[in-house]
Amino acid sequence: MIILIGILVSVATYLILSRNMIRIIIGTAVLSHAVNLLIMTSGGLKTGNVPLLGHGDGPFTDALPQALILTAIVISFATTAFLLVLAYRTYKTNGSDDFNELRGMSDE
């Protein structure tokens, strides 16, 4: 599981280091998947029942990481959406989605 996370992080890093905006955005999405899984794993995997009271008896899996990840998923979605629109605007205004070409804007 951890190895899978490591691979995901590597892929995400490589994507972020590329010059294309879409690839960078997808990279951040992949990175957030990796982090979510990492949190999940650190909470202990499959150690108990679904954390719903009344659905079987304990022990339950750790509910805290789940709550954290739920927050993280939503926020990463918001970030992704925002970045996408930002990319769209940048492309509309500057006519390029390549960060190498976007450097050194005149109004910096």
Partner 1 sequence: MTVDVAIILTPFIFAALTPVLYRFISKKYIGWLVLSVSFILFLFLTTYIPRISDGEVVAFTHEWIPSLGIHFTTYLDGLSLIFSLLITGVGSLVILYSIFYLSRSEQLYHFYCYLLLFMGAMLGVVLSDNLMVLYGFWELTSVSSFLLIAYWHHRKASRAGARKSMIITVAGGISMLAGFLMLYEMSKTLSIREIIGNVEAIQEHALFVPALVLILLGAFTKSAQFPFYIWLPDAMEAPTPVSAYLHSATMVKAGIYLVARLTPVFGGEALWFWLVTGVGLFTLFWGSFNAVKQVDLKALLAFSTVSQLGLIMSLLGMGSVAVYLGNSSETIIYTQAAFAAIFHLINHSTFKGALFMMVGIIDHELGTRDIRRLGGLMSFMPLTFTIALIGSFSMAGLPPFNGFLSKEMFFAATLHIQELNIFSLDSIGFLIPIVAWIASVFTFVYCLIIVGKTFFGKVQLHLLAKHPHEAPIGMLISPYTLIVFVVGIFFFPNLLGHYILRPAMASIYPTFPTTQELTPHIHAWHGIFSPELWMTIFVIVVGILLYRLLKRWKPIYRALPQNLSLNSLFNNGISFSESFSNRVTGRYMTGNLTDYFVYIFLAFLMIVGGYFLQTDIFSWSPVDRESLEVFEIILVLIMIASSVGILFAKSRITTVFLSSVLGYSVAFFFIVFRAPDLALTQLVVESVSTVLYLICFRHLPEIRKEIQPKWIKMRNIFISLAVGATVTLVGFAALNYEKFITISYFFNDSYELAGGKNIVNTILGDFRAFDTMLEVVVLFIAGLGVYTLIKLKAKGGGTNEN
Among positions 64-93, residues that touch partner 1 (CB under 8 A) are 64, 66-67, 69-71, 73-75, 77-82, 84-89, 91-93
Chain centroid to CA 102: how far? Answer: 24
Separation CA 76–CA 17 (nearest Å): 19
Question: CB of 27: closest distance to partner 1 in angstroms?
Answer: 9
Contact in structure between 20 and 98 (CB atoms under 8 Å): yes
Number of residues near partner 1 (by CB under 8 A): 81
**How many C-beta neighbours within 10 Å does residue 36 have?**
19
Question: CB of 91: closest distance to partner 1 in angstroms?
Answer: 6
Separation CA 40–CA 43 (nearest Å): 5
37 binds partner 1 (CB under 8 A): yes
28 binds partner 1 (CB under 8 A): no
Contacts (Cβ under 8 Å, ≥6 apart) of 78: none
Question: Per-residue x/- mask for partner 1, residues 41 to 60, rule CB under 8 A?
Answer: xx--xx-xxxxxxx---x-x
Question: CB of 106: closest distance to partner 1 in angstroms?
Answer: 11
